[in-house]
Amino acid sequence: MKAALLVESLTGNTWKAGEKIGTLLQQDGWTITGLDRVRQPDHAAIQEADLVIVGTWVHGLFVVGQAPWGLGSIGQLPMMRGKKAATFCTFALNPGKTLDKLTTAVMDRGADVLGGVALNRSKLDEHAEVFVDRLLANLPPALR
């Protein structure tokens, strides 16, 4: 199976999470077609992928007004009708409804979102493993 990762990172934490997720998928036999910024997507990598993973960081005032960073850029991604997708966000204190907003934005691009996980930036390794475990458990039989 093939996955493309689209990540938006400010301090590098979300990028590290994306790299960790990609590595864990590769260890499970997946091919990573691309690891790119949301604002600079590799359209060929998205087209080639069976699964598109979109990750961003939580923007807001620590405990109020949280939202995924780069919603406008996510809205500019190519349409992904027929693609399976998953989402993740990284946060420091409280992700609020960020994951729901991110999932909706990816669904608006036509993707079938299988789920997502909010990853605490102080537990990236552990939470990336949780993300991949949940993702693999929720894959339809055709993608296993």
In tens, the pLDDT along 95-130 reads 989 999 999 999 999 999 999 999 999 999 999 999
Q: Is the pLDDT of residue 10 over 90?
A: yes
Alpha-carbon torsion (80, 67, 3, 144), positive or negative? negative
Q: With pLDDT > 70 as the criterion, what percentage of the chain qualifies?
A: 97
Whether 3 and 50 have beta carbons less than 8 Å apart is answered as yes
Domain count, the chain: 1
Paired residues of 101 in beta bridges: none
Q: Is the pLDDT of residue 144 over 80?
A: no
pLDDT tens, residue by residue, 47-62:
999 999 999 999 876 6
> Looking at residue 137, what is its pLDDT?
94
Q: With pLDDT > 90 as the criterion, what percentage of the chain qualifies?
A: 85
Burial of 48 (0-12, 13-18, 19+ CB in 10 A): middle
At 66, is the pLDDT very low, low, confident or very high (cuts 50, 70, 90)? confident
Query: Helix or strand or coil: residue 29?
Result: coil
Whether 132 and 25 have beta carbons less than 8 Å apart is answered as yes
**Strand 112-120 relative to strand 64-68, pairing:** unpaired
Paired residues of 107 in beta bridges: none
Domain that includes residue 82, residue range: 2-143
Rounded mean pLDDT, 21-35: 98
* pTM greater than 0.85 (yes/no): yes
Give the domain CATH number at 134: 3.40.50.360
Q: Is the pLDDT of residue 7 over 90?
A: yes
